[in-house]
A and B are shown apart, each in its own frame.
Chain A
Amino acid sequence: MKRILCILAVTASAAHADETSRAAKIDFNRDIRPILSDACFHCHGPDRNVRKAGLRLDLREEAIKPAESGEIPIVPGQPDKSEFVQRILTDDKDDLMPPPKAHKALTFAQKERLKQWIAEGAEYQIHWAYLPIQRPNVPAANLHPVDAFIRQRLSVENLQAAAEADKVTLIRRLTLDLTGLPPTPAEVDAFVNDAAPDAYERLVDRLLASPHYGERMTVDWMDAARFADTNGYQVDRDRTLHAWRDWVIQAFNDNKPFDQFTVEQIAGDLLPNATLEQRIATGFNRNHMINEEGGITPEEFLAEYTADRVETTATVWLAQTFNCARCHDHKFDPFTQNDFYSLKAFFHNVSENGVGDYGRPPQLSSPPFLSLPTPEVSAKIASLKAEIEAAKQEHASAAKELAEAVKEQPQAAKDQPSPAKDKAQAAKERLAKLTKSLADLENTVPVTLVMDEGKPRDTFILRRGVFDQPGEKVAATTPSSLPPMRGDLPRNRLGLARWLVDPANPLPARVTVNRYWQMLFGTGLVRTAEDFGSQGEPPSHPELVDWLASEFISSGWNTKAMLRMLVTSATYRQSSKQLPAAHERDPDNRLLARGPRFRLQGEFVRDQALAVSGLLVRKIGGPSVKPYHPPGLYEQVVNQKDNPKATYTQDKGEALHRRSLYTYWKRSVPNPAMLLFDAPFRETCTLRRPRTNTPLQALNLLNDPTYVEAARFLAQRMLREGGDYSESRLEFGFRLVTARSPRPAEMEILRASLERTLRDFRSDPAGAAMLLKVGEAATDAALDVVELASYTALASTLLNLDETVMRE
């Protein structure tokens, strides 16, 4: 069995590699760099410390000059005279390259390709991602630009684009993609009945204007920013950063241009006259884990936090694997260890401690933070401060009076009570009481973690990445292989932020449009959304990436406009039904001869169930909430000092039914249902989630009280709003969940199921009553128990359909 799979996997990946149609002539970036990078650069690449035999194959001028041995590795045009070719072809195990112990054996086809490349002159190219963005011409003027590029490739491959999906499928797809929520039946009807030619475009605009659009976009950004409600290490106490999360929601809803969105999050505090909101935005770089463990060395964790900021910034905006350069020069991409620490220097001046103060209340353990008091609390603080000031003066004068009074008195009289003494004592007590009141009040004020510029710290290269092995001192600069910072930019985080969104920087626009593509099509044009380096996967449609990136910049980094552009393409609107011919040729659908069909993110699986059942509380923002959670998970693992009962304390009321992005995220015990649906731990930046399909997900959707309760409320809606007949009720429930009406064969199954379940529960009303007790929200007590339970079972079936958890 294993062998069969292996063969098939190889076939599949070969098909994949051949996806880029191969012209007769070798293209270095497409055909050669991936081989050299994977098989050779580790020992013959950018990392000077491990370079073998002084040979570098990542630079042409190095590869064509005589090596230490005197042999010439690559003689352009003459593979037979190239030592490189002899070494990859030889049968002598001692001479063979790559050496057998590296487990990087080249295939016959790869060797042939390398020979052909040298025969054709061994031309090199700069890795595609570092080249300036060139705006290509749109291949067909009469087509939507996206379609023009996609169809051009399809026609080369002799494939046809699929037909447009029906309107019901389209509105569900679009609503889920842009808001993470399903359309209501009324919205579906309105769209289906809207015959105007711009009906679709108006639908897009309505959804982009929905406040839930910002929530949907924020889910992905929270993964990128590694947002969580706890510190992550060891005792894993709470922190408060939801003000930052709410800032992100608002920023997306306001369509804040992506360059401004970037600058405010990286350096909002350094903007002239920074607003409160701009300072809150800098919480982006405080989302990393924080250690409060007794006995740790602050410098060690300061090194972790700053490294995390470098790696996150490099991943989110540059899609470069900078973490590789923390301990040594990058093995594959042109980044040195010096580049890593020079970038770190930008993030190194924060007035933070390296270790959280476990003695303080959790929210105050890790400065710097901003206090966010309500106006009433602000006023109260101000008045307490004024009172304290007055009490201090009163105390001082009382103390002075007392001193005067007792100056000339004998010792015996000094010890006697006196009015002056009482007065001084009272003033002292009053001052202490006020000071405590202020401290108590300030401890209750919500805060949010932010960045600031404290006392500048020197930054050193850390040898092997170890915190107590400092090497050479470095200054804050951007990586030398990327376009330099403009001379007028300050050498601080603000300068770094402006450099990130400088149109001359080829990466951020490419990386960002690719992520938007991934969000809508399931897979990026560059599949490795987090790695645009030479070990990442090359783009399936390189010209389209550049056209979109250039369009994004020239639109003023307009995110909504970019999304609108993508979803109005015919490519996006295609049906996702599989056609055998296209599937055989392109099983991963990278060429997009049909629309992609993929599973909803875990958050949206739950949000959808809450929405269709009518339970969803559509409040935006605020502190994170604790909905239903299986018992026993905290008890086994959490720290009992801070949580003596060692348990998850579930919230009540509307907190149970908020959207999932507001669910409390404890890093040591993340919400288990979300983990089952591939949410990351939020310990490090994540730009791409896997999409698994497992039995544990089935158990979750079938048995989690969240879904059993949602099924009960969906059943209630079917009974109350679905008309008087079982068929109309079933149809209504089916439409709520899938947006479409069931077909006759489906209705047949549903009807038989309902009849069976009604019969069954009629003979077991106690069982029916038990099912209705799951979950805390009350359904209408007047509804018949057997009927409601039967429809609940049916609703649960609907919530478990493949179609329900997919967007198609």
Chain B
Amino acid sequence: MNTQPFHEITRRQFLGRASAGIGAAALASLLNPTPSAALGVAGLPHFAPKAKRVIWLTQAGAPSQLDLFDFKPGLREQFDKDLPASVRNGQRVTGMTAGQARFPIAPSVFEFKQHGKAGHWLSELLPHTARIADELCIVRSMNTEAINHDPAMTMLQTGSQVPGRPSFGSWMAYGLGSENANLPAFVVMISRPSGNGNAQPLHERMWSSGFLSARYQGVRFSPGKDPVLFLSNPPGITTERRRAMLNDIAGLNRLKLDEYQDPEIQVRIDQYEMAFRMQASVPELADLSREPASMFERYGPESRKPGTFAANCILARRLAERGVRFIQLYHRGWDQHSDLPEHIRTQCYDTDQPSAALVEDLKQRGMLEDTLVIWGGEFGRSVYSQGQLTAKTYGRDHHPRCFSVWLAGGGVKPGAQFGETDDFSYNVVKDPVHIHDLNATALHLLGVDHTRLTVRHQGRDYRLTDVHGEVVKPILA
């Protein structure tokens, strides 16, 4: 238990005590301030980690497991038949389909084949993912309680449907700190679909640090002039002018420090230096111009367009190379309540090749073994059609009772599959994995016992997995 979630208090005391003895400046530079605390929590990791970092390819809006990963051949014969009441078993559906007279079964229109030595069943929509089948561990028994996007995404990120708790990346930035003095520990990138499908909104809270200090908040990297907010100097202020101004500021602040002896002043001096270093390190990071042409071929045609999921995947690899702990990509547009077959094609065009390329790229660089890649959304989609069902098209409503994710690298068993759903991909029938279990497992791979990374807030010790979560041991390598 750490009673001081505001890490700087510790810092402050440390610096304060130190400044009475040896020079504060010397110690502060030793401390190497970063946008997220460099240091993490003492005693972490709890045991030797398999993964040093996480790349979470969050598919916002909830991709259909039925059309991508969870092959149900028997459904072909059930086309347009009513979902048996015994399957639904009176369970809650959303207000969007609660009023439907029928719940007609919509088998996937897409072909499935087995791939790799692993024999993973994958839909024709994922030819590139199929290529890396033997790297993937597919979990088909994911489940959650939340049935609407906002609470479900909040749940996926923070382990609670109720807003206000820290997201996974913030826990990591807090607990494990940063490996790079010039970059934040938790970076978020968001892409919009190239198609015109329904892109559900996202909220800053999904990568917020909740009750942890704001310094652990996910830092949004955006395409364009300022990958990080307010990064560029105003027009007319060159790097040389900025450097000279920072020297003036530091000189004046040092006079203040001499007079007031407040260690906070030293921290500010250091943070201004860090800001200056970020002005160099972030554009260097975001600049893909030196990536070879073969790289863009690998990640696909969209990867040359800044801000796309594909471009963000290349950036994710570059961030991983530089030791960023938690890299979270969001790709919006999976919320296919109608015309699913049309919209899911463009979503897969956006995501399939770059996701596979990222895994391959990491592997070639020898980084896959200590990078955990997770691909999936906030819940699944219903086997019954929302709206009109025809031979060619259908919609699918939200479905929290089962969905699929894949994991790769970072100590996960490659080529494995885990968990099963019933013949309708409606209920989990074997080895259920709740979001809390997934989070517990990811933390475990990072060398963290999820029951021991806690922070006191409002008198209670909180953790990412609340009071739940079991490590899914069978999928560990």
Contact = CB atoms under 8 A, between A and B. Distances in A.
Contacts of B148: 234, 291, 293, 295-296
Nearest to B456: A535
A675 interface: yes
A745 B255 contact: yes
A577 B261 contact: yes
Interface stretch (B68-76, B244-252, B399-407): B244-252
Nearest to B96: A295
B214 A676 contact: yes
Contact of B241 (A5, A103, A745, A760): A760
B203 A668 contact: yes
Given A5-B14, A684-B163, A670 B204 contact: yes
B14 A8 contact: yes
B239 interface: no
Contact of B205 (A2, A9, A681, A806): A681
B224 interface: yes
A533 interface: yes
Interface in A472-522: none
Interface stretch (B38-46, B372-380, B439-447): B38-46
B232 A802 contact: no
B361 interface: no
Interface string A576-605: 111010011001100000000101000000
B215 A705 contact: no
Interface in B143-189: 147-150, 163-164
Contacts of A583: 16, 20, 261
Interface stretch (B116-124, B267-275, B352-360): B267-275
B460 interface: yes
Contacts of A294: 95-96
Contacts of A274: none
B275 A631 contact: no
B204 A12 contact: no
Interface residues of B, number: 102
Interface string A148-189: 000000000000000000000000000000000000000000
Interface string A542-580: 000000000000000000000000000000000011101
Contacts of B39: 1-2, 5
Interface stretch (A79-87, A608-616, A763-771): A763-771
Interface in B252-298: 252-253, 255-256, 259-262, 264-265, 267-269, 271-272, 274-275, 278-279
Contacts of B34: 695
B264 A756 contact: no
Nearest to A294: B96
A708 B32 CA distance: 28
A580 B149 CA distance: 54
B150 A233 contact: yes
Nearest to A102: B451
A455 interface: no
A726 interface: no
B224 A297 contact: no
A639 interface: yes
A549 to B, nearest CB: 21
A529 B190 CA distance: 36
Interface in B385-399: 397-398
B234 interface: yes
Contact of B202 (A531, A578, A637, A675): A637
Contact of A578 (B223, B236, B238, B262): B262
A673 B214 CA distance: 12
Contacts of A781: none
A325 to B, nearest CB: 12
Contacts of B40: 2
Interface stretch (A246-254, A339-347, A401-409, A793-801): A793-801
Nearest to A679: B214
Given A676-B229, A700-B229, A802 B4 contact: no
Nearest to B212: A690
B204 A668 contact: yes
A700 B271 CA distance: 12
A693 B267 CA distance: 7
Nearest to B397: A295
A668 B201 contact: yes
Interface stretch (B5-13, B106-114, B129-137, B418-426): B5-13
A675 B214 contact: yes
Contacts of A772: 236
Given A1-B39, A13-B4, A323-B458, A693 B268 contact: yes
Contacts of B199: 640
Contacts of A630: 226, 229-230
Contacts of B279: 699
A260 interface: no
A8 B245 contact: no
B194 interface: no
B231 to A, nearest CB: 6
B201 A696 contact: no
Contacts of B398: 295
B172 to A, nearest CB: 15
Contacts of B397: 295
A800 B229 contact: no
Contacts of A3: 42
A700 B230 contact: yes
A800 B230 CA distance: 14
A321 interface: yes
Contacts of A297: 92, 95
B229 A693 contact: no
Contact of A584 (B6, B17, B42): B17
A743 interface: yes
Contacts of A702: 230, 233, 242, 245, 275
Contacts of A445: none
Among B149, B214, B265, residue most surrounded by chain A Cβ atoms (within 10 Å): B214
A751 B280 CA distance: 29
Contacts of A395: none
Nearest to B277: A695
Among B253, B267, B269, B460, residue most surrounded by chain A Cβ atoms (within 10 Å): B460
Interface string B420-464: 000000000000000000000000000000011010101110000
B272 A698 contact: yes
A5 B229 contact: no
A692 B275 contact: no
A675 B260 contact: no
A411 interface: no
Contacts of A530: 458
Given A669-B204, A808-B260, A797 B245 contact: yes
Contact of A531 (B4, B163, B244, B458): B458
Contacts of A771: 234-237
Given A597-B260, A681-B163, A2 B42 contact: yes
B386 to A, nearest CB: 10
Contacts of B13: 8-9, 12, 587-588
The 4 closest A-B pairs by CB, nearest first: A535-B459, A771-B236, A6-B42, A295-B94
Given A295-B95, A802-B253, A802-B269, 10 more contacts: A1-B30, A9-B10, A295-B398, A296-B148, A321-B459, A323-B458, A587-B12, A681-B204, A690-B6, A801-B252
29 contacts: A2-B42, A5-B39, A8-B14, A103-B454, A233-B150, A234-B201, A291-B148, A294-B95, A296-B94, A531-B458, A578-B262, A584-B17, A597-B260, A667-B203, A668-B203, A668-B205, A681-B204, A692-B213, A692-B214, A695-B274, A696-B228, A746-B252, A749-B255, A753-B244, A767-B235, A773-B235, A797-B245, A797-B248, A801-B252
Interface of A: 1-3, 5-6, 8-9, 11-13, 101, 103-104, 232-236, 289, 291, 293-297, 321, 323-324, 331-333, 468, 528, 530-531, 533-536, 576-578, 580, 583-584, 587-588, 597, 599, 630-633, 635-640, 667-670, 672-673, 675-676, 678, 681, 683-684, 690, 692-700, 702-705, 708, 743, 745-746, 749-750, 753, 756-757, 760, 767-774, 789, 793, 796-797, 800-803, 806, 808
